[in-house]
Amino acid sequence: EVQLVEYGGDAVQAGGSLRLSCAVSGYVPSTYWLGWYRQAPGKKREGLAVISMSGITNYADVAKGRFTISRDSANNTLYLQMTALRPDDTAMYFCATAGSSGPPMTASQALSTVDNFGYRGQGTQVTVSS
């Protein structure tokens, strides 16, 4: 079974940066994607970014230009580097897997499902103050 543990969330001021990390353990099929999504109180989940096992990335519009997803396969760690943070980035951030036993997902499919299916961690809180 895949286990995901996020850490690195913090309270920061607007304009600041944070790097979230996610320790991944267990077997993740090579056709799967890893990604990040977030959920703010009273709002629906929002997929942010995904990365394939081969390093292909895809970002939601809200993340483009400010967030960078990366993966250290040697240390089984997923990262989300966030810059130029805004108060509306305040949310619980989760790492998750996206994939199925069927044909490999496209980057678009992975991004649209990363917040809905698959394994996920317990989340790490990011709070951005103005």
pLDDT in tens, 69-102: 999 999 999 999 999 999 999 999 999 999 888 8
What is the spatial order of strands in the sheet that 18-25 belongs to? 3-7, 18-25, 77-82, 67-72
Summarised one tens digit per residue, pLDDT across range 98-125 is: 988 888 899 999 999 998 878 999 999 9
Phi and psi angles of residue 108, each rounded to the nearest 5 degrees, phi first: -65, -45
Sequence-separated (6 or more) residues with CB below 8 Å from residue 24: 2, 3, 4, 34, 76, 77, 78, 95
**pLDDT value at residue 101:** 82
